[in-house]
Structure 1
Amino acid sequence: MQHQSSDRLLLIEKVLILKSLSIFSETPENILADLAPLMQEEEYEQDSLVFPEGEIGDCMYIIHQGKVRIHKNNTILAVLGEKEVFGELSLLDAETRSASATCATDCTLFRIDQEPFYELIDSRPEIARGFIKILCQRLRAQNEKSVQSNN
């Protein structure tokens, strides 16, 4: 009986992790409870490559613990920390990765794969709405940057 309650607690913990992400902050908890079981926990050692630039991506990652460097060759584009997400475009569109991801420290990551995510979107369109909103915000911010750099 003890084992079952620890599984349930883990589901609640995963829901809270999802809720803390900007992508899902406005998604109701009962919907996140359907997404939480798709989160596959993975451990990486410092300097491990999560994925190389140019690889076809079909999953996104959530950083639970540690820091991840996003880089092209030796140029660091970003260093991401706990509760940040990377590779999320691959959930919607299986294209090649635009940059590499390497663990800057020992990391615990949650992976969400595209196929089960698509199946979930069919029954839970609210999850897709959260994604679309974040992507629109990023696009607007990118447009702002390019307008400012042209002035």
Structure 2
Amino acid sequence: MSMALLWDTAVATLTSSLATPAGIVAACSAAVAGALVVVSSFVKTMIPLRCLAVGGNLGFLLYGALHPSLIMMLLHGALLPINIWRTAEMVRLTRRVTAAAAENDLSGVWLRPYMRSARMKAGRVLFRKGDAARHLYFLASGQIEFVEIGEMMEAGRLFGEIAFFAPDKRRTLTARCATDCTVLRIDETTFKQLYFQNPAFGFQVVNLVTSRLIADRQRLESLMASSRPAPLGS
């Protein structure tokens, strides 16, 4: 088939499609959806990308309904709820982290939907001093003991974050279950996906980790001040 014939066929098909109001709406929908797909190829962050994908799905779904195409309707009808759900999920995560930063909530509870849960018996060692830090942890129930300093941690706290973000990624303490515990963890790959998909999430996480480090330093300074001997003659 020659190029001229292909061109004539395409023009005839387009002309017949635009002959009715429904055809015009279908063509405009497809054009807008196609433009959104092109724009999405230049977007680097996940929430705008998902929003553009939702718009593209709606456009192609409308085109498939008005210019009957069962395959197109099935494809974009299946993709639409997935993209809506993923967009809502990332928006919720950003709001949780932003609220935690605003309230100075260092617990890390906002990460729970993305963490895997495990039940651990008393005496179980989560990691030892010098181990590679491959996970970030959240203690949902029980108590964790940091062996080298004899400190106990209650439930509802994020832990293991310093080594997780440190350049050498090595644990500075040993963490052991003092009681039966429920521990949630997130691996580095999942955390990086969340970070790069949503820069606002990453920025707020940096703020929260910085707040935790400052709080730890202030606690250490208070302990050192209380352990100093009183000046002579006081």
TM-score between the two structures when normalised by the length of structure 2: 0.45
Residue 191 of structure 2 corresponds to which residue in structure 1?
A: 117
Identify the residue that residue 136 of structure 2 maps to in structure 1: 60
Q: Aligned partners of 2:141 and 2:226: how far apart in 1? A: 35
Residue 135, structure 1, aligned to residue 218, structure 2: no
In the TM superposition, 1:36-115 aligns within 5 A as 36-72=112-148, 76-93=149-166, 94-115=168-189
- Is the Cα–Cα contact under 8 Å of residues 104 and 211 in structure 2 kept in the other structure? no
Distance in 1 between residues matched to 2:104 and 2:186, nearest whole Å? 14
Aligned mates of 1:116, 1:64 — CA distance in 2: 19
CA separation of 1:21 and 1:78: change in aligned 2, threshold 3 A: farther
Over 3 Å counting, the alpha-carbon distance change for 1:106 and 1:128 in structure 2 is: same
Which runs of no fewer than 5 residues in structure 1 stay unpaired?
Answer: 1-14
Q: Identity across aligned pairs (percent)?
A: 21
Alpha-carbon distance in 1 for matches of 2:195, 2:209: 11
Structure 2: gaps of 5 or more residues: 1-95, 230-234
Higher relative contact order (CA 8 A, sep 6+): 1
Partners of 2:123 and 2:104 in 1: CA distance: 25
What is the CA distance between 1:150 and its match in structure 2? 5.5
* Letter of the structure 1 residue corresponding to residue 120 of structure 2: Y
User: SS at the partner of 2:155?
Assistant: coil
Q: How far did residue 148 of structure 1 move?
A: 5.5
Greater share of strand: 1
Measured in 1, the distance between the counterparts of 2:179 and 2:124 equals 9
Say if 2:141 and 2:183, in contact at 8 Å, map to a contact too: yes
Partner residue of 2:204? 126
CA distance in 2, matches of 1:39, 1:126: 18
